[in-house]
Amino acid sequence: MMRPSSLCKIKGMTAALGLAATSVLLVHGAADSNNDGYDDVWQNRYGITVATYPLAEDADGDGATNLAESVAGTNPSDPLDVLKVGEVSASGGNFQVSVKTQTGKRYVLESSTAPNGPTWTAEGSPLTGTGVSQSFTVPLGSGTAPKFFRVIAGDQDTDGDGVSDWAEGQMTTSPTLANSPNNASGGVGTDGATLNSLLSISASVVTPSAYEKEGTAAVVRLTRSDSSMPLLVSFVLAGNSDAALGSASASDYVLKDGAGGAISGTSFTIPAGAAQYDVRVTPTTDSSNEVPEVLRFTFQSVSGGVTTPLGTAQVDIRDATNTEANRRLFVATWAGRAGQSPRPPGWPPSC
């Protein structure tokens, strides 16, 4: 038994196995809506951008570039998760070449009489990945001429919906059903059309501030290019990124849609035919004098192990608009305690 990482051992068995070396080749066939070179679903699965993980670099030092990991569907931050040939062994009149597979990916073993081809011939039958190591079984060659082998990894789309089988497995949609009932459109659109509609969403702030006294709302707008289907969108709320500054709490506002209907929970559905959807932050009136309170939105779609980011937005809630009638003068006296300076920290000595 031999491993491809030991080239000397492989060459030492050339005459018996007709095997000289083993390599891996990748074939890209996945969706890349932003044309950055990476599979969209793979990017969202692992939180990858070209800026943080350049295509030609090898972030985890496992010998595969980040682009190669994208095509193979492996984790670019885990050196143990990489496409590589495993054991090569002879048995009877055949030999086996094993490869660690990813569910839904397609693998082909090819051979050539020269290490760099250019002519390659398919050996045996293609394999569909199941998430574990699988083996190609091919007849031993007769004679002593060496053969060079490579494994091609690529994508397949069994149901023809525009989303690869590997990506469907990550998102838990069906690789054999074009309109998976659990996709973000509820099965109204195909899995590919639904994913494209999600990826077309952008978020913008229409009205940045809500005012309690005037009863006016802050408005965040989601816009998409494909409105042919309904879309379920989730969101996460947070306060000010600076903990020392004002943050809105749940009691400070009510979320409503553009028609004034209440948004409950942490999701809403953009109706079919709607190219835009407004989220209105309606302030709750109280008697407290407060600093502006920040509310941040992170919009996303969660499907299986994949979180697709859809955009972010930030608004704030204020007591009143900055008009003459609303202006107030607040006077305070600063007095130091025993043993402390009467001057506020950071003030110059002349104050």
pLDDT tens digits along 102-142 = 999 999 998 888 888 889 889 889 999 999 999 998 887 66
| 3 pLDDT more than 60 | no
DSSP one-letter string for 136-189? EEEEPPSSS---EEEEEEE---TT-SSS-HHHHHHHT--TT-SS-TTSTTTTSS
| Mean pLDDT of the residues in the chain | 85
DSSP count for the chain of H helices, then E strands? 6, 16
61's CB contacts (< 8 A; 6+ apart) are: 79
For the stretch 290-323, pLDDT in tens is: 889 999 999 999 999 999 999 999 999 999 887 6
For the stretch 67-98, pLDDT in tens is: 999 999 999 999 999 988 888 888 888 888 89
3-state secondary structure of 8: helix
The whole-angstrom separation of Cα 8 and Cα 262 is 70
Residue 24 confidence class, pLDDT cut points 50, 70, 90 = low
Closest CA to 7 of 25, 20, 26: 20
Could you tell me how far CA 252 lies from the centroid of its own chain? Answer: 32
| 265 pLDDT more than 60 | yes
Give the burial string for 220-235 (b: 16+ CB within 10 Å, else e). bbbbbebbebbbbbbb
Whats the size of the chain, residue-wise? 351
Lowest-confidence range among 3-17, 95-109, 159-173, 270-284?
Answer: 3-17
User: Which pLDDT belongs to residue 4?
Assistant: 27
The whole-angstrom separation of Cα 225 and Cα 195 is 12
Q: Which residue has the higher pLDDT, 274 or 97?
A: 274
CB of 315 closer than 8 Å to CB of 281: yes
Whole-Å CA distances, 314 to 57, 106, 204, 299: 34, 43, 9, 11
